[in-house]
Chain A
Amino acid sequence: MRNRALGEVEQLLLFALVELGDRTHGVEVRELLEDRAGKSMSPGAIHTGYERLQRRGFVASCLGEPTAARGGRRKRLYEITTLGAQALREAHARIQLIAAGNLPELERLAGRLK
């Protein structure tokens, strides 16, 4: 059985693809994560993250056309695979299952520490 565990960054990267749809490229992912998740990532981090996910079969990618805004360079376009979507769903469900009954207590503990 293939290991389907996903780390937080990996989940964020996959959710970004869910939100942005097919043929998403790195700059869009960076902006989304910065705006919506408050997470700042360098292009290197984003692409190596996706490379790792691609090796596990959770993401597919290809090179797009060159554009002038990129100095004539091509972009890498990503999309989430079915396998990736399943893995993300499972990972998220695991967190939700354990989190469900515990959120009020978590609030209390976190507040106490403050």
Chain B
Amino acid sequence: MNRPSGTEDLSVRTPWITQALVALTLGGSRREVILGDLEEALARRIANGVSLRTARRLYRREALASIWKVYSSGAAFRSDPEEAHLVSVTAGAKSGPRSGAAAARIWKDFRFSSIALARRPGLTSLVTIALALGIGASTMVFSVVEATLLRELPVEDPQSLVMVWNRQVSDVGSSNLLSAPDYVDLRERTNTLDSVAAFGEIVVAPVVGTEQPSFARQVPVTENFFAMLGVEAQLGRLFDEVDGAEPVEGAPLPDFYPLVISHDYWQRMFDGSEDVVGRSIRTFTSNFQIVGVLPPEFRLLFPAAADVGEDLGASIDLWTCFSFRMSQSSRTYRSFRVLARTGRGSSLADVRADLDNISGQLRAEVEELDASGFALGAESFVAESGAHIRPLLWMLGFAVVCVLLVACTNVAGLLIARTSERARELSVRSALGAEAWRLARLSLSESLLLAGAGGALGVALAWVGMRLLALARPAGLPQADDLSLNWQVLGFAIVIVVICAMLAGSIPAIRAMRHGLSGRLNTRSSTANRRQRRLREGMVALQIALTVVLLVATGLLLRSFANLQSTPLGFDPERVLAIDISTVAGGADRSLTDRSLAASRWVERRQGLEHSLAEALSALPGVESAGAVFPVPLNGIYSRTCDYSLGAEGKPDVAGVAYFRNVWPGYFDSMKIPLLAGRDLHTSDDVPGLATWLLDPEQERTDRAVVVVDAQMAARLWPDQPAVGKTLRYTTSGTVFHDAEVVGVVPFVAQGGRVDGRGTIYIPRSYYRSQELTLTVRVQDDSPSTRRALVDTVHAAFPESPALIRSLDGYVERSTASNRFVLSLLGAFAATAVLLAGIGIYGALALSVRQRVNEIGIHLAMGAAPQRVFAGVIRNSLVLAAIGIGSGLALALLTSGLLSGYLHEVKGADPWAVGGSVLIQVAVTLLACWIPARRASRVQPMEALRAE
């Protein structure tokens, strides 16, 4: 660039962004003088031979330093030296062209408004607090909504992901899983899905060979799982074709299987060490070598129906890769949950048609599939994930709108009152020549200032609220770790603030304009404008109505929660210790190349050890009874399901999905689950030789098996007959039990806090091959020495097993955490609204008493008793409250439909909820009008009249 000469093109050389920044941040003559100085210095430097670049750099530096100085010295907040009326030198020209006159006027408006507001600290703080509460609550909820629903899943193009289910059994609307061959067929035949991946059953695997044996949640996935999701490794690599290659017949087992670990597990177990790739991890059954670490943001939210917990990405520690002959394994062992990506140009409807087509082909080819009515279906992953939490968020959103409305009407009411208070002042100003628009602007700038202050305080409140939320770690909300105020949330808060200001400011502003125009100087201050008062009172009534709606909603949920709490669990958790163990004895014998023989020996050995553990536990002093179960109720991570039918009774179409639990004899006793009919399971129910047979599920077994069912199953399958003695056909992990005799019936036991209509089948331990087991031991008292004795006993039988010991009470506690969380959020909203309504009532009455001081004074002077004045004010506000409560109740009854899905045995018009709300609102009204009423009754007649 050529060095410019002369002063003509000065503007070209000025760093205009910095200039604009100064112009924006500084006001009055300060802006003009400082900008002028900067500009002149720039020109002089250039004239003195300083390079343009350096001069501009110095300009920028000095400009920023100036802004900093003006603000840090506090000068920005003091009056402009031009208006300071201090010693002034008489100067030549006083006026000149001024740039940014509009900005200066606005600045002036704000300054004037802030002075006016500072003069009424009580009112100002009331309004600010009201706004802060409204804005804080809404920002907080929006943050939660954003974290759970609006935030995109951190996988590639989540919109095109679908879940594929087997819809064959759907008596309770459950979705079901695919077998490995089903998956292979689907993958080969589809022409609408780009890639098809799957993951299997989640297990809690013991990690051994370290100092302290521990548990890790493990899930197997197909080799293309991560690639399909578009996830990349944080460290090392994820699975590839080689990892998923089918083993060659007769080849020795590999020394190590590849393993991917979660970011969280990496941090927890390896302290985030960089050289973790290549290290090995041993579980009882396999040796793994870590090949990669997942990125921290990997998340995968599944709908509740998937039975995998809510966030697979966050809850799984170890990811293994399927590498078995999928096409040759059993069609009845269905553990695959399939995720697929729709191809370009295919809609969900296309996919469904394609899947129907494939299902038809497979039913024609495979007899088993035909018999079971195999039918594939697909759901959009994004639509389903988080679906269970949506009504809840709607409800919270509704609560937020209520609170925000209450806050806005509150502020508007207070501001209207204030404007009417200033009616005279405004009239004088307008008579002296102030434009109506300027008066309106003052009113608007006042509300914007209030909204700004309320907004800042509100965001601070929301921030504190979020910290508390994150501490509470609510179980019902996934991604609780991510809860934070981000810029989107802040943007939301700002929009709310501006809307608040516009709403609250518009009515007073319009009034200000009207006042300005009519210029009613002669209005006597004592005559409170009737219409104004009615408007103000209407707003108070509206606030009360909205508050009542919230109170009723909270009351209903509270009642529902109490009902849920008092719903029998079906067992007695008191003094029961739950000990997670892994019942694998020494691992599989790796010298045997025949895998099934090795495994069967291992199963038999485990059986013996479990028997002796059961005996040892019962013999411990301080132990009342001991049992074991898998999976333990209310564990919150997973459940196991099985398919059943009444095929053995000739009714194969009576079929469904049930939860199953694998139990020791003694389990019911230890949990105090009463037998409603029949008997408990015995050790003699074990089927000899079952261990070997379990490994070859294709072979049909005709030995008599026994099961215990819960009352829900019994009522569904045999409504009018005793269930004991009936037979049931069921399939677990591919093993078909053709006729299992029902020997006992127990009550329904809550499944993870969810009531979904599925029943439960209890099967003897030896029927199911799983290393996972939770001991349930009822002790006389839960002391450290008892716990130590229990752990020692476990280790005597299974030396390498981890033993994670917890009280069952804790499980119960955690399972209700999500309900409690919702309730406390709603409770906080209701409390906020009550507080706001209280502020509104107080503010409106206090102002009205202030305005009617003369009227009251006259009354008192004429001999009215102070008590009557007091009672009059109270009566007045109670009438308001009655109107508000009445309309609020009507609104509450209309909106309680929103809640119905969340209510457990509570009707919309629950007398307790309604009555309680009315009582609270009346109490708050009385409390809020007490001080104004007292003030009214203590008016000094002489003073009031003198003021006239």
Residues of A within 8 Å of B10, CB to CB, are 68-69, 71
| Contact, CB under 8 Å: B84 / A55 | yes
A89 contacts chain B at the CB level, 8 A cutoff: no
Nearest CB of A to B292, in Å? 54
| Contact, CB under 8 Å: A54 / B81 | yes
Taken together as a complex, chains A and B put the C-alpha atoms of A5 and B872 apart, in Å, by 61
B472 contacts chain A at the CB level, 8 A cutoff: no
Interface range, A side: 35 or more
| Contact, CB under 8 Å: B30 / A47 | yes
Contacting A at CB under 8 A, from B1-44, are 7, 10-11, 14, 29-30, 32-41, 43-44
- Return the chain A residue nearest B33 by Cβ: A76
- Return the chain A residue nearest B74 by Cβ: A48
- Return the chain A residue nearest B62 by Cβ: A42
Residues of A within 8 Å of B344, CB to CB, are none
**Which of B33, B67, B92 has a CB less than 8 Å from the CB of A65?**
B92
Taken together as a complex, chains A and B put the C-alpha atoms of A69 and B39 apart, in Å, by 7
Residues of A within 8 Å of B101, CB to CB, are none
**A54/B32 contact (C-beta < 8 A), A42-B66, A43-B66, A44-B66 known:** no
| Contact, CB under 8 Å: A42 / B14 | no
Residues of B within 8 Å of A66, CB to CB, are 36, 96-97
| Contact, CB under 8 Å: A48 / B75 | yes
Interface string of A29-65 (1 = CB under 8 A from B): 0110000000000111111100110110100111111
Residues of B within 8 Å of A55, CB to CB, are 84, 86
| Contact, CB under 8 Å: B41 / A27 | yes
Nearest CB of B to A75, in Å? 5
Which secondary structure characterizes the binding site on chain B?
helix
| Contact, CB under 8 Å: A70 / B62 | no
| Contact, CB under 8 Å: B41 / A44 | no
B912 contacts chain A at the CB level, 8 A cutoff: no
Residues of A within 8 Å of B535, CB to CB, are none
Nearest CB of A to B49, in Å? 15
**Which of B33, B92, B94 has a CB less than 8 Å from the CB of A26?**
B33
- Return the chain B residue nearest A59 by Cβ: B87
B470 contacts chain A at the CB level, 8 A cutoff: no
Residues of B within 8 Å of A67, CB to CB, are 36, 40
**Which of B37, B68, B89 has a CB less than 8 Å from the CB of A30?**
B37
| Contact, CB under 8 Å: A74 / B89 | no
| Contact, CB under 8 Å: A70 / B40 | yes
**A63/B94 contact (C-beta < 8 A), A30-B41, A73-B35 known:** yes
Which secondary structure characterizes the binding site on chain A?
mixed
Count residues of B near A (Cβ-Cβ below 8 Å): 45
Nearest CB of A to B263, in Å? 48
Residues of B within 8 Å of A57, CB to CB, are 86-87
Nearest CB of B to A85, in Å? 13
**A75/B36 contact (C-beta < 8 A), A44-B66, A48-B69, A63-B29 known:** yes
Residues of A within 8 Å of B35, CB to CB, are 70-71, 73
B88 contacts chain A at the CB level, 8 A cutoff: yes
Residues of A within 8 Å of B36, CB to CB, are 66-67, 70-71, 73-75
| Contact, CB under 8 Å: A51 / B75 | yes
| Contact, CB under 8 Å: A69 / B40 | yes
B65 contacts chain A at the CB level, 8 A cutoff: yes
B623 contacts chain A at the CB level, 8 A cutoff: no
| Contact, CB under 8 Å: B87 / A81 | yes
| Contact, CB under 8 Å: A64 / B43 | no
- Return the chain A residue nearest B19 by Cβ: A71
| Contact, CB under 8 Å: A42 / B69 | yes
Residues of A within 8 Å of B14, CB to CB, are 71
B73 contacts chain A at the CB level, 8 A cutoff: yes
| Contact, CB under 8 Å: A77 / B89 | yes
| Contact, CB under 8 Å: B33 / A73 | yes
| Contact, CB under 8 Å: B33 / A75 | yes
Interface string of B309-340 (1 = CB under 8 A from A): 00000000000000000000000000000000
**Which of A27, A44, A68 has a CB less than 8 Å from the CB of B65?**
A44
| Contact, CB under 8 Å: A54 / B84 | yes
Interface string of B474-488 (1 = CB under 8 A from A): 000000000000000
**Which of A48, A54, A69, A71 has a CB less than 8 Å from the CB of B86?**
A54
A72 contacts chain B at the CB level, 8 A cutoff: yes
| Contact, CB under 8 Å: A65 / B37 | no
| Contact, CB under 8 Å: A71 / B34 | no
Taken together as a complex, chains A and B put the C-alpha atoms of A111 and B466 apart, in Å, by 59
| Contact, CB under 8 Å: A61 / B65 | no
B93 contacts chain A at the CB level, 8 A cutoff: yes
Contacting B at CB under 8 A, from A91-109, are none
| B interface residues (Cβ-Cβ under 8 A, vs A) | 7, 10-11, 14, 29-30, 32-41, 43-44, 61-63, 65-70, 73, 75, 78, 81-82, 84, 86-94, 96-97, 99
Closest 10 CB pairs of A and B: A44-B66, A73-B36, A62-B91, A42-B65, A70-B36, A44-B69, A43-B37, A76-B33, A26-B37, A42-B62
Can you list 20 residue pairs at the A/B interface with Cβ under 8 Å?
A26-B33, A42-B62, A43-B37, A43-B62, A43-B66, A46-B37, A48-B70, A52-B73, A54-B81, A54-B84, A55-B84, A60-B89, A61-B81, A62-B89, A63-B94, A64-B91, A66-B97, A68-B7, A73-B35, A73-B99
| A interface residues (Cβ-Cβ under 8 A, vs B) | 22-23, 25-27, 30-31, 42-48, 51-52, 54-55, 57, 60-77, 79, 81
